Structure 1
């Protein structure tokens, strides 16, 4: 890491970075940033989808994490600049993300993970489900979800509503609140009942879902998206899961408050969580 005041920037020395273009189903193409170690054997691949409510953001937003992935774990990372609202509404971002994993021509035998934060974690969850349904081969090794959006508040199944409390409890939360969430949804013109927006209610269920690692923030209106989803995967479908929750942190606090020890802890936890996923491989 490179320290600039209170902020830590990624040190990409020893990491090769270049842009690639990924074709989409409608004849367009989208940019992605590709990172890999400049030396050493080719390692696993991780495809990352950035956050920003389907409206904001760019591929380089989580470079601090990409530094750990490439330098310490030998990963190649593809960070996707999917198309965003309001110019591109639902389900364009989901389709771009699905098209990305079907386009990849890399050797995936060493491991293939999908990941993202917030709305990007939503896309990672959607991709994981579509990959199972479509019989993607080789299959996705694992999923890493950071502060994920996993169900529209109007589409939470009745049996889980007693446990869906953070949406109201932190409706005025720092960084992300209910008003902003609804504005993002209005821009994206999401369909609450579609699995392409609410993967918790994916139509075919969660059988054969890859092992999944979660990072959640304790004072996040989306916290219970992650807690309910993790419970459903683990208890109802037998999916291996691992979870870290950062008490007292608002949505994205582990990234925004880089001056706090929790930022470094989240990076160490990420490394351990990714290593845990790789150990789940048969």
Structure 2
């Protein structure tokens, strides 16, 4: 989805409701901090976001540990219907700059996906920096998705990936999803992915953006002093992770596999986000390769506004869009009113 330079500039102008929220709830000029403080802040945000105000959840929520390639035990959070026929399978990857986040991040999202689509939702864990540097988190993701696919139809998950097998995530989780959707073309899972959800993903950088799209790659400079995700913050996160920016496990753009083999893709993009143009350009590349895509762009919204600015209409809209977007990936129509009820909006 390529926008003109003027449209990109307009998309970067802070949404008036966001500007008003920040004026009433000021944040430090730089979000750089120690990683433990960041994790505590994310936990508070997760708890607030996941507060359940919708109809009763009648599904089952359990945890299960699986072995990684180095014998580390990683936790899966499994949400599924209590009974009834098997449904589609969804694997979710949390965001947090590869430094924070947990598999509790999508608790509310998972409950709604179970209630509306009868899906089995598995939120994976992966180890994060600075304790575990690149590519340990990536390899944990690989091992987890492989295990999920191999055990999809067993009694623990009781899913039917032939009805749909979606991988998705926000921010770092979107980066992992995009990277492994490409990797699974070379090393297929037991069941192929039928869709991917890429919310505010990191899929390229200034050095890897294809030459033909460089004139559209403006958001990293437009948003250098972004209120919630500044260039300084990004540098700090990168210094902790120590990723190889030429690796296809870090940036999907580095993969050699053909884009034609990618599944149906749903993007959610924040307009006032340094990662905005990662998503818009990658969407254009997928479309040019014949991949079916859908994009929801939230002009004037900073990185991760879905959970960072509670109570705003633009926040509620994005959270409803997420579920409607999953319905699109699964080929199932669902009304916005029904989704809003499930979310307690």
- The TM-score, its normalising length taken from structure 1, stands at 0.92
**CA gap 1:219/1:88 in 2 versus in 1, 3 angstroms:** same
Specify which of 169, 176, 181 is matched with residue 123 of structure 1.
176
Higher strand fraction (1 or 2): 1
Question: Does 36-45 or 66-75 show the bigger shift?
Answer: 36-45
Rounded to whole Å, the distance in 2 between the matches of 1:274 and 1:13 is 19
Specify the SS of the correspondent of 1:116: strand
Say which of 82, 96, 101 aligns to 2:126.
82
Structure 2 runs not aligned, ≥5 long: 1-47, 154-160, 333-345
Let me know the Cα RMSD of the aligned residues.
1.7
- Give the corresponding residue for 1:106: 152
- The verdict on how the C-alpha distance between 1:41 and 1:267 changes in structure 2, with shifts beyond 3 A counting, is farther
State the partner residue of 1:152: 205
Displaced runs of 4+ in structure 1, greater than 4 A? none
Separation of aligned partners in 2, 1:165 and 1:84: 29
Aligned to 1:57: 101
The answer for the alignment partner of 1:200 in structure 2 is 253
Question: Based on CA coordinates, which of the two structures has the bigger radius of gyration?
Answer: 2
Residue 296 of structure 2, aligned match among 231, 240, 244: 244
Aligned equivalents of 2:49 and 2:197: distance in 1? 24
Between the aligned partners of 2:67 and 2:172, the Cα distance in structure 1 is 21
Kindly tell me: are residues 186 and 153 of structure 1, through their superposed partners in 2, closer, same or farther at Cα, counting changes over 3 Å? farther
1:257 partnered with 2:309 = yes
Alignment counterpart, residue 14 of structure 1, candidates 58, 61, 85: 58
1:174–1:251 Cα contact (<8 Å) kept:
no
Partners of 1:211 and 1:202 in 2: CA distance: 18
* Counterpart position of 2:262: 209
What is the CA distance between 1:22 and its match in structure 2?
A: 2.0
The number of equivalent residue pairs is 274
Conserved 8 A contact 2:185-2:257: no
2:182, 2:262 within 8 Å by CA — same for their partners in 1? Answer: yes
Contact 1:10 1:63 in 2 (8 A): no
Tell whether the 8 Å contact from 2:125 to 2:141 is kept in structure 1 after alignment. no
TM-score (norm: length of structure 2): 0.76
Q: CA deviation at 1:8?
A: 6.2
Partner deviation per Cα, 1:10-54 (whole Å, 9 max, x = no partner): 357313111111221122221121111224322111111100000
Partner in structure 2 of residue 3 of structure 1: none
Alpha carbons 1:257, 1:263 under 8 Å: kept: yes
Tell me the secondary structure at the aligned position of residue 85 of structure 1.
coil
CA–CA distance in 1 between the matches of 2:243 and 2:211? 20
Contact 2:203 2:252 in 1 (8 A): yes
| Paired position in structure 2 for 1:233 | 286
| SS in structure 1 at match of 2:84 | coil
Does the CA-based 8 Å contact 1:217-1:253 persist in structure 2? yes
| Per-residue deviation, 1:267 | 2.6
For structure 1, list consecutive stretches of 5 or more residues without a partner in the other structure. 1-5
Determine which structure has the larger helix proportion and give its number. 2
- Answer 1 or 2: higher relative contact order, Cα 8 Å, separation at least 6: 2
Q: Secondary structure at the match of 2:196?
A: strand
**Equivalents in 2 of 1:56, 1:7: separation in Å?**
16
Instruction: Give the secondary structure class of the aligned counterpart of 1:218.
Output: strand
1:92 and 1:257 mapped to 2: Cα distance? 31
Once residues 73 and 144 of structure 2 are traced to their aligned partners in structure 1, the CA distance between those partners, rounded to angstroms, is 10
Deviation at 1:157, TM superposition (A): 2.8
Equivalence for 2:38: none
